[in-house]
Structure 1
């Protein structure tokens, strides 16, 4: 029979008695030895001694449970989780610098070695070690900011050639920079591990998505397939796939798509990247970077007893967080949903101190009716400051 103070492993997992249960058991055993009238209060030496033993057993049980849980990516933490996900061929993301896709224009055949572009704020962006201008005269590469941390760059701001090279004519960014990130959190790594198991999936499309999701720096992916003989409503050509990818290196993303897609399947997008197949032939892979749609929200609240500005700030943050969490293209609904924004606002602590009387979401094209529709390659963004409260 298992000890009443030890952890137990059964079909439902691992469990252990609480500190109070361990202490009660030890006190019973102590009294069975020294007499039922033995005083074991907290102010007695014997009571304190038994409490110390109970605490040591409880701490050991907690360590056993943590060790048991470390074998599963669903419950492991820290280094244990980092070790687990290696089974899936991925690793925890380290802190990163901001990245931006640059269109490098120049004379065909020009080789740029150690190239650096500079933005209007004086920040340097490092091109790949070697960039060769193809016959088309333009190539898209992913540059990394020389300054670590969250460095932003809007469209067209990275436009200065910091290392002049004969044949390199111009540089610009057609999309905004992806900000740098801190060390990947446990929750984010678990999510990426879940996507990574799609690599050996039953369908090629799932495998392609999983391969891209597992790349370092990739934060969101939306995958579309047109298996018909005509161009679909999103403009995707016949027998083609289209991936909208946020974050990550464009060369790595293109390589992952090329490795997974089936022969004869076309790729569609505004960002083109050339990769070399196993036979040494150049293949152009196309994809989209998300186009960001800044959202504003107007909320009217009726203050009730206990309402304070702290509650209002929480509402602004909750609604902003919801909008930023909406999938690229709006997911199944294809929109930023009005009802979900209301749910987010009413989910804050002390929500009983106000009554929400109206909520209007607006995008670049105007206010929703009431949802704001997103195109398949668009992503919604919102800051707490863009959530305007009117409190009466």
Structure 2
């Protein structure tokens, strides 16, 4: 039913109860409505189909609200605010190829890792006089499986006498799964302020819409003199983690107020609608690597993959790369790594009686204190820097 308190769906048991009362009202209290009687079977049959209709009605009602909508309804509701779901992406990177001098490695050549992750060369690569060339590759399958570490793409799928070796000097990144409803809703809530313009919140919100941007913070100096950090007067300083530099500069130029300097260590030239160039500055956020040592006291309900679940929960909170190559956004720039909140993440895992936690910056002494971050820093952690001992 729908009233001032909203929509309340009638379930199968509610419908059976209502129909039972109505039948007894019409035919008498002594009417046989057992599960094997004719009327009892008929009531339950109709109640089953009506329960399905009530379920559809509830979904239609919920589709009008962002926090209740799901699937394509969530997509369409978010589209009204200019926000679209992030689709799955193919990981991309560079490879260094060695072989016969002057040989041209053709576009479409396949390389792979020892685990069988395939990558395709997307351009012709001519080997120089030393027999060395570099080219761009893309994973043949979308998703996080294509995010692989440096020096792991070493196999030429179809052996060629003119190619002696191949490797990727840098990690292959950019692969992601299709954004889930929960992730999409969280990003929508973060970007609501982006509907405005010329404010620090709107710039940050718009940056978070960009693929690959995992954290962003915008600081403004409204004074007529440089601030304590050396930022020029009447300027904004944008600090970003991840993303394409040119797209970041475009967003800052589009959202910042006229006459305000966009200050930063990275300088990108952006053209306005009239074709006139403008220099837009921003800075990359400094990543602070975090390390964790956890001692877990378990009971019989502790899951077989409990250690990996623990690592994943820590990474989701702080931000960083999981063992399967998934990148989690985690904390924003300037946010403190809180030991209490780390421990709270373990509430989502069964079978844990107690936990002892040591946290710190990687390479330094670990302890039980919170780890504060400067506004230009963001905490990040890798699954390789989490040590879990189960007792």
Q: Same fold (TM over 0.5)?
A: yes
Q: What residue in structure 1 maps to residue 29 of structure 2?
A: 36
| DSSP-derived class of the 2:176 partner | coil
> Residues 255 and 100 from structure 1, CA distance in 2 versus in 1: closer, same or farther, beyond 3 angstroms?
farther
Q: In 2, Cα distance between the equivalents of 1:391 and 1:214?
A: 39
Residue 61 of structure 1: CA displacement?
Answer: 1.1
Structure 1: which 5+ residue stretches go unaligned? 1-6, 102-114, 128-142, 159-172
Q: Which residue of 2 aligns with 1:232?
A: 228
Deviations 1:53-103 (A, max 9, x none): 1112221111111001111222111111111112112222221123679xx
- In structure 2, what is the equivalent of residue 342 of structure 1? 343
Deviations 1:137-170 (A, max 9, x none): xxxxxx8946433334779999xxxxxxxxxxxx
- Give the distance between the partners of 2:302 and 2:195, measured in 1 at CA: 52
Shift of the 146–301 alpha-carbon distance from structure 1 to 2, 3 Å rule, reads closer
Distance 1:119 1:268, change over 3 A: farther
Contact 1:119 1:157 (C-alpha < 8 Å) held by counterparts? no
CA distance in 2 between partners of 1:175 and 1:12 (Å) = 56
CA distance change for structure 1 residues 318 and 220 in 2, over 3 Å: closer, same or farther?
same
Normalising by structure 2, we get a TM-score of 0.72
Match of 2:10 in 1: 17
What CA deviation, in whole Å up to 9, does each residue of 1:189-219 have, x standing for no partner? 2233334432343762222222222334544
Please show how residues 342-361 of structure 1 align to structure 2 within 5 Å. Answer: 342-345=343-346, 348-351=349-352, 354-356=353-355, 358-361=356-359
Deviations 1:207-260 (A, max 9, x none): 222222233454432222233422434x54443323233444332221111011
Distance 1:188 1:391, change over 3 A: closer
Aligned-residue offset at 1:24: 0.9
SS in structure 2 of the partner of residue 221 of structure 1: strand
Compute the RMSD of aligned alpha carbons: 3.8
- Structure-2 separation of matches of 1:292 and 1:126: 31
> Which residue in 2 is equivalent to 1:327?
331
Contact 2:290–2:385, Cα closer than 8 Å, also in 1: yes
How does the TM-score come out when normalised to structure 1? 0.71
1:381 is aligned to 380
CA gap of 1:230–1:83, structure 2 versus 1, over 3 A, is: same
TM-superposed CA distance for 1:188, in Å, is 2.2
**Structure 2: segments with no counterpart, 5+ residues:** 95-106, 124-135, 154-167, 320-328
Q: Which residue of 1 aligns with 2:253?
A: 258
Aligned residues: 335
The aligned residue for residue 207 of structure 1 is 202
Would the alpha carbon gap of residues 265 and 144 (structure 1) be closer, same or farther in structure 2, given more than 3 Å must change? farther
Taking the aligned partners of 1:126 and 1:379, their CA distance within structure 2 comes to 34
State the 1:292 CA deviation: 3.6
Correspondence for 1:134: none
Map of 1:283 onto structure 2: 278
